[in-house]
Structure 1
């Protein structure tokens, strides 16, 4: 009987251990991001649901931690109570993750130093650094597509915008044939972007936009402005460097005024969500000597399915805008503004945003006001700042949107279907109806709504 209970306790521990490893990996082993997750109501739902199986991607690091943890758990079961092991699972897994950070730091330094040495060998390589709270990936993809019409271009891979991601890209992918290297640069701490610049040595910098995204990990706006706000990137550019700034963002405009090197503004004439990112890519291409014809060919190759937003056809023939790639305050507002291009009914489905720190309440009230201005129905999938969104919507002079809190994907689908069927006057009108799926929306719902 004792063996049965030991096996059961071990299985429960393994499930919990995998969950905590998943959460650490999701937050990129960053203590600030990990702790910020506990500021949301969503974590309470995760912790209360034993049957929700979450497990990490099994990298070498995760496998090492998992095997070490499993061995220690077996030793614990032979020496102490299995119940105690289950209770201590969060602390146990976190201590192992932090312990494994020690060899990770040494490995990280080795990789970075190797990348620096290799980068120094490419004297004629032109490096373009792109940073900002939002729009980095889209701008990188647009710019790479356009520049490839004339140059041999290397770009950082998707989600690889850290010091390790950039270093590995240099070590594994940079070849003599490359003329331009486009490095997307992200950080969660002050000094993070400067480190990336020390590795890649950019001559051109693009600041795509700055807002409160990741404020919780930076601590205060001053730190955020220095890093993803573009300050460190611009300061790292040489005297003959060139800087580009999004004219639609007030923080970018302030940095533009303080910048002493050659500089440009872009995005003043953007007429659709994400349009300023294309204009930024076009401006940089023009500065690099590309002709209008070359730029035009590149723009034509930019697919509709770029990271950030995809437009699909869905149930009842309506338009479904899939913006589930990522989310930030300005991005949500821009996507809501884009809905005005549709003359039919407008629905948004989104969770509350995370890692906004002290700005969270005001940001969600602002989103609520915009929802009231644009939408007929808003379904919020997490409770964290639902009240602020609802209050913001109610405080708007328009005040026409129905704002609901619904967690279950099937219930969300049924609510949307009922809403659409309840006032469907004609097939033609459905073609102008639109659903915006913003941020991390359940995959099940996406599959049900969009073809």
Structure 2
């Protein structure tokens, strides 16, 4: 009977191992989207109250039904049934590597975390088996799976730090050796768009490497430098994201900037910073780093009112270019416009007037265009050449990207936009893009990481949407109640179609969209916001 008990326990452990691996992938998917930040992952677990119910209930029922400490055969049968239950639940688990809006990427780091978490879980399982604990004890092993990921990640920290330091050193050494003119761009919003426009302008002047997409972290930038920077590149343009005070400064040590651009200070990612003054201090680490090496700072006039900007300007303005309508602006923006053909800005640079035009949509892009124009001029480009180059600026992927459809409708893809300024500009653009008989349709889950400003900003934008939207499809409506309420108050006759998921919204569009309609997809939340995990 002892042999039977041992075999049954190993069968149970095997079934649990399969289940734990499948369930760990589900949790790792969220952990990865939280950038392997244990505190943020724990916050998600608590906020969503994500706990395993099915496996817990199954083990509780089996544990009670087959609790027979004096009858090893009954206990063995219960263990085998427990193993079968674990296998069945594991097979039913959806695979985030294949079924997800943004699939789980099994990177080398993700693989290491899975292995380390597996070691932690193995220790838990061995303790249960060695102690001869009943089925009910396996509930603890089930609930421990997400915490094993956190523990595994903590165990790997020294190793990950060494790996990242090696990559960081290789990238930094390559930049120091090849010496491209490095442009760093930061801001609460507009970073990626300014990078896109400036990269286009500089590539017309000389070979230019631009970090792709929204890559703006140390390891992301280091990877691009290590893999793509070549001796022929004259310019290197990179976006620098701020996740707290000191993060931009660390990026500047990796890629010391010869020119710094601060695009805006606003409530995007307010949840991380808690105040706009803290945001401003973090962003101004970039122009401070450029100044330290005799470089140039290009600042949007919008940022000048913050104490961090005032302190920076107090240190001298000889290599500072302010862009905007402000009196002190060196590149003076006289007027901005938007038409069906794109955005325009009338500017004055070094005493001469220029009419800037780019086939981009959203009035906020006029300011982004002016910033890129000023930076390119500061780097020695001929302004007249830049005016010509701007006219061929390609659309920016997922940032008010206008896509005419075969059925005569138009899709405006603003899926990667998550800030109040861009949101408002996108809404206003609908009036220009919509067909004469079409409807203006908004699909949005709202914005994230606004912290205490979440309801206030959504309520304000709900009122703005009422001026520009004929049909509202709020995705995950319960997280943007203030937006929906404001829209309904301002436009009580306009239909609101709540959608629990993005797929529901797509289903409504498939059934109701017609020629002439324009659909704005404003922001696209990661799976951890939209996907409601039921375990």
**Number of the residue aligned with 1:205:** 260
Render the CA deviation track for 1:352-382: whole Å, top value 9, x for unaligned: 3222111111111122111112111111111
**Number of the residue aligned with 2:73:** none
Render the CA deviation track for 1:127-147: whole Å, top value 9, x for unaligned: 211011222112112111111
The answer to whether structure 1 residue 269 and structure 2 residue 336 are counterparts is yes
After TM superposition, give the deviation of residue 265 of structure 1 in Å.
0.6
**Number of the residue aligned with 2:500:** 407
Query: What is the root-mean-square deviation in Å for CA atoms of aligned residues?
Result: 3.1
Q: Which has the larger radius of gyration?
A: 2
The TM-score normalised by the length of structure 2 is 0.71
**Number of the residue aligned with 1:448:** none
Q: Any conservation in 2 of the 1:114–1:171 contact (CA below 8 Å)? A: yes
135-144 vs 433-442, greater mean Cα deviation? 433-442
How many residue pairs get matched? Answer: 426
Q: Distance in 1 between matches of 2:106 and 2:35?
A: 14
**Number of the residue aligned with 1:348:** 442
Q: Distance in 2 between matches of 1:264 and 1:277?
A: 13
Aligned counterpart in structure 2 of residue 132 of structure 1, from 171, 182, 187: 187
Return closer, same or farther for 1:383/1:105 CA change in 2, 3 Å cut-off: farther
The answer to whether structure 1 residue 70 and structure 2 residue 118 are counterparts is yes
After TM superposition, give the deviation of residue 36 of structure 1 in Å.
5.6
After TM superposition, give the deviation of residue 33 of structure 1 in Å.
4.4
**Number of the residue aligned with 1:380:** 474
67-76 vs 52-61, greater mean Cα deviation? 67-76
Return closer, same or farther for 1:79/1:33 CA change in 2, 3 Å cut-off: closer
**Number of the residue aligned with 1:312:** 403
Render the CA deviation track for 1:131-176: whole Å, top value 9, x for unaligned: 1122211211211111111122122233331122223333343333
After TM superposition, give the deviation of residue 385 of structure 1 in Å.
2.7
Considering Cα pairs closer than 8 Å and 6+ residues apart, tell me whether 1 or 2 has the greater RCO: 1
Render the CA deviation track for 1:243-302: whole Å, top value 9, x for unaligned: 22334xx44564666533321214652534133222322222223232245324432442
Aligned counterpart in structure 1 of residue 459 of structure 2, from 361, 365, 368: 365
The answer to whether structure 1 residue 327 and structure 2 residue 385 are counterparts is no
Write out aligned runs for 1:180-219 (5 A): 180-219=235-274
Aligned counterpart in structure 1 of residue 286 of structure 2, from 233, 237, 242: 233
**Number of the residue aligned with 1:438:** 522
After TM superposition, give the deviation of residue 416 of structure 1 in Å.
3.4
Q: Show structure 2 runs of 5+ residues with no match.
A: 1-7, 55-91, 98-103, 129-136, 325-332, 339-360, 528-535
Q: Distance in 2 between matches of 1:399 and 1:53?
A: 42
Write out aligned runs for 1:75-154 (5 A): 76-80=124-128, 81-122=137-178, 125-154=180-209
Q: Distance in 1 between matches of 2:398 and 2:511?
A: 30
Q: Any conservation in 2 of the 1:147–1:298 contact (CA below 8 Å)? A: no
After TM superposition, give the deviation of residue 304 of structure 1 in Å.
2.8
The TM-score normalised by the length of structure 1 is 0.83
Q: Distance in 1 between matches of 2:50 and 2:405?
A: 30
**Number of the residue aligned with 2:212:** 157
Q: Any conservation in 2 of the 1:118–1:170 contact (CA below 8 Å)? A: yes
Q: Any conservation in 2 of the 1:138–1:307 contact (CA below 8 Å)? A: no
After TM superposition, give the deviation of residue 205 of structure 1 in Å.
1.3
